[in-house]
Amino acid sequence: MGNELDELGKRLERASATDMASLAAWVVRHVPDRSAHTSPMAGGVVALTGRGMYVNCAIASGLDEPLTGSDLDRLEELSATVGAPSTVEASRLSDPSVIPLLKARGYRPGDTVRESFVQKLIGASPANDDHGFRIEVVETDEQLAIWQEAAARGWGHTTPEGRATSDLFAAGAYATQTPGLLVVRDRDDGRVVGASALSIHDGFAILGGMSTLPAERNRGVQQQCISHRLHLAIELGATAASVQAAPGSGSLRNIQRQSTGFTHSHTTTSWVFDA
């Protein structure tokens, strides 16, 4: 299982790199007043979306080949142009030389840590019962606005800056991800109870962030979001899937205590340049 688990973990990192590169490229094209950049680096990508944004790092770089001092020179220069600290994501799946190089260079573990869980998707799509919920893929600007409001309320993005960042990333995901964003409604009265995301690259499904409105918690919304997206991923031809969560989070506890079929693969840590 070890080699298979490692390969699934690497597929996840590559899919995440593709995902974030697409989003950064969208920011470059559609938000001209914001500094952003994306380019390949050491088998992965540099995805920079600017100061205060969610994505400013090298992803999957050094996964299948060594990271070099020249790579870090370029990353540090590019990061400075967008006003963000130079950051590299690394894990046990990285080339063994990566973390020693980062330490020697003055990089230190940052605050961003993700626990990654993976599973193979085999066979026909199972029956899908959403247990009192109706889950719909966002296909219109009106639905996007509903998703943005639900996500902001669920994640507590109450400040103007926090809401603007959340809305921008949702718009980018809507434009670049397939199948993309999903709104969760109560089946009886149609009220919105949550939001989630699903992105598929090269047959690998990334079950993105899940947000449940505070008044709707403890109803099993997250469990149904996971089940529904796995069903949809299989329908769309995905052969593997992942879900990620921050250590100690409610999402992580839900994943660990529910029978979702996922196995822990690796922990990804952001290494930040201590200038």
Q: Is residue 245 part of a domain?
A: no
Host domain of residue 53: 2-115
Three-state SS for the chain is CHHHHHHHHHHHHHHHHHHHHHHHHHHHHHCCCCCCEEEEECCEEEEECCCCCCCEEEECCCCCCCCCHHHHHHHHHHHHHHCCCCEEEECCCCCCCHHHHHHHHCEEEEEEEEEEEEEECCCCCCCCCCCCEEEEECCCHHHHHHHHHHHHHHHCCCCHHHHHHHHHHHHHHHHHCCEEEEEEEECCCCCEEEEEEEEEECCEEEECCCEECHHHCCCCHHHHHHHHHHHHHHHCCCCEEEEEECCCCHHHHHHHHCCCCCEEEEEEEEEEECC
Q: Is residue 259 part of a domain?
A: no
Cβ proximity of 242 and 204 under 8 Å: yes
Question: Are 218 and 152 members of one domain?
Answer: yes
Residue with tokens 């490229």: 25
Strands (E) across the chain are located at 37-41, 44-48, 56-59, 87-90, 107-120, 133-137, 179-186, 192-201, 204-207, 211-212, 240-245, 263-273
Question: Are 151 and 202 members of one domain?
Answer: yes
- Please say which residue of 47, 80, 115 terminates a domain: 115
Question: Are 58 and 89 members of one domain?
Answer: yes
Question: Are 64 and 90 members of one domain?
Answer: yes
Spell out the per-residue pLDDT of the chain, length 275, in tens.
569 999 999 999 999 999 999 999 999 999 887 889 999 999 999 999 998 888 999 999 999 999 999 999 999 999 999 999 999 999 999 999 999 999 999 999 999 999 999 999 986 655 566 678 999 999 999 999 999 999 999 999 989 999 999 999 999 999 999 999 999 999 999 999 999 999 999 999 999 989 999 999 988 898 899 989 999 999 999 999 999 988 887 777 777 776 678 999 999 999 999 76
Q: Is residue 247 part of a domain?
A: no
Question: Are 139 and 166 members of one domain?
Answer: yes
Q: Is residue 71 part of a domain?
A: yes
Q: Is residue 275 part of a domain?
A: no
Q: Is residue 270 part of a domain?
A: no
Question: Are 58 and 97 members of one domain?
Answer: yes
Q: Rg of the chain's alpha carbons, rounded to an integer?
A: 18
- Please say which residue of 115, 145, 175 terminates a domain: 115
Tally of domains in the chain: 2
- Please say which residue of 115, 146, 164 terminates a domain: 115
Question: Are 172 and 226 members of one domain?
Answer: yes
pLDDT at 254: 74
Q: Is residue 210 part of a domain?
A: yes
Q: Is residue 195 part of a domain?
A: yes
Question: Are 205 and 103 members of one domain?
Answer: no
Question: Are 159 and 229 members of one domain?
Answer: yes
Question: Are 107 and 177 members of one domain?
Answer: no
CATH number (domain holding residue 219): 3.40.630.30
Question: Are 161 and 64 members of one domain?
Answer: no
Question: Are 8 and 110 members of one domain?
Answer: yes
